[in-house]
Amino acid sequence: MTSKPSKTLETFPNPAPQRDFTIRMRMPEFTCLCPKTGQPDFGTLYLEYVADKSCVELKALKMYLWSFRNEGCFHEAVTNQILDELVKATKPRYMRLTAVFNVRGGIYTHVTAEHTKKGWKGTLPPSAWHVDPTGAGETP
């Protein structure tokens, strides 16, 4: 059976909703198309969030990210779109998405977007990722 891209984000119940804990994911295979040239853009996405009642399911997240492969997207727009759709699906206490795109025309682009649930009084998790500004690598 062949998997296909999907815009559906599935969730599962948070196994410890009584506690704030940080979930971190590194997704090094993100691709989309440059809306100006149609050339492929490649990047690594770093997701960090404090779940409330639900968590994002990993295979569904992979299929969702795959759905951007043939879409023309500005880096800034797609980063915010992905964050908005993840927030809508999971309703987290806090979520941060950083997109690190490979060099294009001699320019490295990093886009970070954040969401904090209204009324949440928890402590923002420090970013666990140190990303080399040249895009050459990162350390957790």
Known binding positions for substrate:
56-58, 75-76
CA 116 vs CA 49, 60, 86, 105, 111: distances in Å: 10, 23, 13, 34, 17
Instruction: Please classify residue 116 by burial: count the beta carbons closer than 10 Å to its beta carbon, then call 0-12 exposed, 13-18 middle and 19+ buried.
Output: middle
Q: Is 132 a catalytic residue?
A: no
> Which residues are part of a known binding site?
56-58, 75-76
Strand partners, 115: 95
Helix, strand, or coil here: 79? Answer: helix
**What is the Cα–Cα distance from 65 to 82, expressed in whole angstroms?**
8
Q: Is 55 a catalytic residue?
A: no
Residue tagged active-site, from 20, 32, 41, 84: 41
Identify whether the C-beta of residue 96 lies closer than 8 Å to the C-beta of residue 24.
no
Residue tagged active-site, from 20, 32, 34, 52: 34
Task: Please identify every residue annotated as catalytic.
Answer: 34, 41
